[in-house]
Amino acid sequence: MPEPETKRPYKMRQRARSQEETRRRIVEATMELHEELGPRATTISAIAERAGVQRLTVYRHFPDETAVFQACTSHWQSLNPPPDPARWAEIDSPAERFGAAVAAFYDYYSGTRRMWAASFRDVDDVPALQGPMRGAGAYRDRIADDLARAVDPEGSAWGIRATARHALHFLTWQDLEDQGLANAAKVALVTAWLEGALERAR
């Protein structure tokens, strides 16, 4: 006896929900392993085990490692968006605006350290990671360059752009964190770097 027509759409929706749930588990498992082990050490077998599925199931949803890594990156970025320049855009003083931007980035890094540390460590060995890392770097550098132009509109002060880019970089935050500086102390220090570069130009 054939199935009633009304049951077929329901079963199709149920199957689609199940497939979406499986895909979500795979992506979240990948994200967890990237933070714990690093992208380089994250294998399809490890992802399948963490997600509670077979390796073949991972490949049904993602044709290769690059695809699952890209899905992981997109999901992680949706959960952890970078600081929005609107947070400091209305601050009149360029120096205070710089400090506010640095503080926002350092608070962001405090909450996302594990993923950034693993990604910077492994990026040279994981081609699937290199595009997203370039994109994140380009975003960060655009913000740094805007801050530098606000501080030095003529672009005549030596080292302002380089200082701004260095100040916003995760690896700068990580090095200062490893030296035991609180975020407020980090911000004060890199702001002093900027003031020193401006003073030298006067």
Q: Select the CATH number that applies to the domain covering 7-78 from these four: 1.10.3720.10, 1.10.10.60, 1.10.287.110, 3.90.1150.10.
A: 1.10.10.60
pLDDT category at 45 given cuts 50, 70, 90 is very high
Q: What is the pTM of this model?
A: 0.86
Give the model confidence (pLDDT) of 161-171 as tens digits. Answer: 999 999 999 99
Q: What is the mean pLDDT of residues 44-50?
A: 94
Buried/exposed 52-77: b ≥16 CB within 10 Å, e otherwise? ebeeebbeebbeebeebbbbbbeebe
Determine the Cα–Cα distance for residues 88 and 76; give it in Å rounded to an integer.
24
The whole-number pLDDT of residue 199 equals 78
Chain mean pLDDT for the chain: 90
Nearby residues of 2 by Cβ (< 8 Å), 6 or more positions away: none
d(Cα 100, Cα 147) in Å, to the nearest integer? 10
% pLDDT > 90, the chain? 73
Query: How confident is residue 57, by pLDDT bands cut at 50, 70 and 90?
Result: very high
